[in-house]
Structure 1
Amino acid sequence: MKNIIQIAAVFLLLIGCGNKNNAESVSEEQVEPTGIRVTQDQFDTNDLMLGALEKRTFPKMVETSGMIDVPPENRASITAFMGGFVKNTSLLVGDQVKKGQLLVSLENQEFVQMQQDYLEIFNQLDFLKAEFERNQTLFEEKIASQKNFLQAKSNYETAKARYKGLREQLQMLNISPNRVEQGNITSQAVIYAPISGSVTKMNVAKGSYVSPATEIMEIVDNDHVHLELSVFEKDILKVKKGQRIQFKIPEASEDTFEAEVHLVGTSIDDTNRSIKVHGHLAHEEEANFLPGMFVDAKIMTDTIKTLSLPEEAVIESEGTYYVLKLVDKENGGYTFEQIPVKQGNTYDGYTEIIATDLNETDQFLTKGVFDLIGG
């Protein structure tokens, strides 16, 4: 019996010690400080900065994409009016050309035949004209029959039409009809640059045959480029002429560039239910844009005034955005609470803060947030 009493006493003693340890542990957890504590020295050394929520104007954006392009008159696809073999060309992709510069020479026996036909009809024209005028006079004097007069007139008018047609074809081939009339016949036709610009495509080589359907080369004038954007049907009613555009060239630069809506399309592409929007660039001469560059763009369709903080004050951690709110400032130090918020638009260095439990009297860490909570 004595042994049983001793064992019970030891058991009760152990239980009492355990409860005491638990009470001490709970007490320690209760007094453990919460939040992020920063001393005054740390605040000053790391150039930390406080700020309040500020109402600022933010634009409402329509996000879209597109490309850098040039107007149709600044792009020329070079083809031949008649087929032929490339006799000479010295141009490569990237070469600069001037309007009227010789691009390529083509050679074909059909050019010779055309000039022979032209020279033949040219030489007949004076005779046929004189014959027509003679028969006209005889007919008016009732000496010649009407049949002879009409036949002479038909021969002359037909020859004159053929003469004009062949002359136009020679001019399209850049062969001088005046030189042909002097007996100078050539087997070559030349093609000149219709615009100034740079060669962006070169599809032929010396000796290759080109048909009228073959694109020999392409010339693009980059002096004026623009944005060609595709806006989805659900957003198009928000887009108006004159609205500002911010865009980036994601594959080439981190810089943001400015443009303006110049034209809004009037028909929907059935393939992707989008509408073309044409934008003119601001400070176009300062950027070296090239046609075909892909762009990410935002069109500013409206504005809203809302609470905001500097962009640096908001940081993302594991998919959630946070700010550091000042909850205590005493004993030479600062205590911050990490508050989750919903981030709105970011514009001109400031971020829209969407939160119902924050107000303009609250203080936040606006510089050095990343050093405290990381990303």
Structure 2
Amino acid sequence: MSKRFATVLIIILLIIAGLVTYRVMINKEKAAENAEGRQRTESKVYGMVVSGQPFSDFLSLSGTIEPNEVINLRSEISGIVEVLNFSEGGHVSNGQVLIKINDAELRAQLAQAKTRNSLAAENERRAKLLLEKEAISQEEYDIASADHRTAESQIQLIEAQLIKTAIRAPFSGTVGLRNISKGSYITPITDIAQLVDISKVKLEFSIPEKYASKVKIGTSVRFTVQGTSDEFTAKVYAIEPLVETATRTLRVRALANNRDSGLIPGTFANVIFPLETVEKGLLVPAEALIPIQNGKKLFVKREGIAKEILVETGARTDADVLIVKGINEGDTVLTSGVMSLRDGSPVTVTLR
């Protein structure tokens, strides 16, 4: 009886040992499979460790180049153009006579007025002598004196008209394409040509009201124009006192030298307006940012997994974006291969 019991007991113990051994082996196989599966699902991405660095914040704005001075040349009187003293596209000096209108009729009127003035002066002289002899009344003398003054005023009026027959340049500049010819009959509403001063140019642009307090007289701004890679500098000289309610912007004008006439009025300008310098700015590549409905997000590596972080951005350069809020110095930001990542995905990061 005891032998049979011992045999049964041994068989039971062997069965239990076999089951334990089988279970251990199954657990090891599952653990190996899980480890292998995790290894297969880890994403290989590139990243960078963020470090603070000086960054000059700025606004990128659109502007327009305008001439320093510009007018439409017009005559104050009507008449026939007798002399054209400028060439299209040519430079003229301040005070230079550009156009002479025929003044023959006015000169004849002036000669007539001078003759009448001489007669009026003689009548006044005689009336004065007669008044001293009490041969005429004071009233008659006053009439003769008024006639003399009227004749003198007529001469001054005609002389003023004669001055207007010569159209002069009010400032030095370049004359544009003319709309008249020699012999044309012009009136005060006739546009003769444009006179433009481009020795300096005005740069006009608008600042969002959020940054209106940053604009100061004398602030230097940089700008570029199409057709050249050169960068130009201008200084703010005038600020509109009111914000435009329609656009919520503040109009600003800056002045730039244009000695070589390389800047053409009317052209578009890309304006770089300086704001402030951040001593420890956190810059990340633009490709690391993912646009979402409420702003932008990026991924950072935390304990071997990708962590989704919502961020606030500031200014940007050609390749990098300033992160204002969301990450800290020393974080590992994932920079490429981020579009396929999910929050909590295991990652293998190669720093660069």
TM-score by length of 1: 0.64
Quick check: 1:344 aligned with 2:314?
yes
Q: Which secondary structure does the structure 1 equivalent of 2:198 belong to?
A: coil
Q: Which secondary structure does the structure 2 equivalent of 1:204 belong to?
A: coil
What's the % identity of the aligned pairs?
21
Aligned to 1:59: 57
Aligned to 1:331: none
Q: Which secondary structure does the structure 2 equivalent of 1:58 belong to?
A: strand
Q: Which string of whole-angstrom CA distances, capped at 9 and with x for unpartnered residues, describes residues 156-180 of structure 1? A: 0110111111111112213xxxxxx
Which structure: larger Rg? 2
In the TM superposition, residue 120 of structure 1 has moved relative to its aligned partner by 0.7
Q: Which string of whole-angstrom CA distances, capped at 9 and with x for unpartnered residues, describes residues 204-227 of structure 1? A: 244543211122111111112122
Count of residues paired in the alignment = 306
Residues 342/253 of structure 1: CA separation in 2 closer, same or farther (3 Å cut): farther
The one-letter code sitting in structure 2 at the alignment partner of 1:32 is R
Residues 25/203 of structure 1: CA separation in 2 closer, same or farther (3 Å cut): farther
Q: Separation in 2 of the partners of 1:362 and 1:23? A: 30
The one-letter code sitting in structure 2 at the alignment partner of 1:245 is V
Q: Separation in 2 of the partners of 1:326 and 1:139? A: 114
Pairing 1:179-198 to 2, within 5 Å after superposition: 191-198=167-174
Residues 158/286 of structure 1: CA separation in 2 closer, same or farther (3 Å cut): closer
Q: Separation in 1 of the partners of 2:75 and 2:267? A: 29
Quick check: 1:76 aligned with 2:71?
yes
Quick check: 1:31 aligned with 2:39?
yes
Q: Which secondary structure does the structure 2 equivalent of 1:215 belong to?
A: coil
Name which of structure 1's ranges 269-278 and 208-217 shifts more when overlaid on structure 2. Answer: 269-278
Quick check: 1:297 aligned with 2:271?
yes
Q: Separation in 2 of the partners of 1:163 and 1:357? A: 84
Aligned to 1:9: none
- Aligned to 2:151, which of 153, 159, 181? 159
Q: Which secondary structure does the structure 1 equivalent of 2:76 belong to?
A: coil
Residues 194/284 of structure 1: CA separation in 2 closer, same or farther (3 Å cut): closer
Quick check: 1:276 aligned with 2:251?
yes
Pairing 1:122-271 to 2, within 5 Å after superposition: 122-174=114-166, 191-233=167-209, 235-249=211-225, 251-253=226-228, 255-269=230-244
Residues 121/86 of structure 1: CA separation in 2 closer, same or farther (3 Å cut): closer
Q: Which secondary structure does the structure 1 equivalent of 2:129 belong to?
A: helix
Q: Which string of whole-angstrom CA distances, capped at 9 and with x for unpartnered residues, describes residues 99-141 of structure 1? A: 344433444xxx4332211111112322321321231233134
In the TM superposition, residue 198 of structure 1 has moved relative to its aligned partner by 1.3
Residues 351/284 of structure 1: CA separation in 2 closer, same or farther (3 Å cut): farther
Aligned to 2:323: 353
In the TM superposition, residue 143 of structure 1 has moved relative to its aligned partner by 3.1
Q: Separation in 1 of the partners of 2:262 and 2:72? A: 23
Q: Quick check: 2:298–2:333 contact (8 Å CA) kept in 1?
A: no
The one-letter code sitting in structure 1 at the alignment partner of 2:40 is E
Residues 358/266 of structure 1: CA separation in 2 closer, same or farther (3 Å cut): closer
Q: Which string of whole-angstrom CA distances, capped at 9 and with x for unpartnered residues, describes residues 291-336 of structure 1? A: 2222233433444444334x7x4436875889998999xxxxxx9x
Name which of structure 1's ranges 341-350 and 260-269 shifts more when overlaid on structure 2. Answer: 341-350
The one-letter code sitting in structure 1 at the alignment partner of 2:155 is Y
Residues 284/59 of structure 1: CA separation in 2 closer, same or farther (3 Å cut): farther
Q: Separation in 2 of the partners of 1:79 and 1:143? A: 55
The one-letter code sitting in structure 2 at the alignment partner of 1:172 is K
Q: Separation in 2 of the partners of 1:158 and 1:198? A: 42
Aligned to 1:99: 94
Q: Separation in 1 of the partners of 2:289 and 2:333? A: 21
The one-letter code sitting in structure 2 at the alignment partner of 1:112 is A
Q: Which string of whole-angstrom CA distances, capped at 9 and with x for unpartnered residues, describes residues 149-204 of structure 1? A: 11210110110111111111112213xxxxxxxxxxxxxxxx33332221234222
The one-letter code sitting in structure 1 at the alignment partner of 2:38 is Q
Q: Separation in 2 of the partners of 1:363 and 1:89? A: 71
Residues 23/286 of structure 1: CA separation in 2 closer, same or farther (3 Å cut): farther
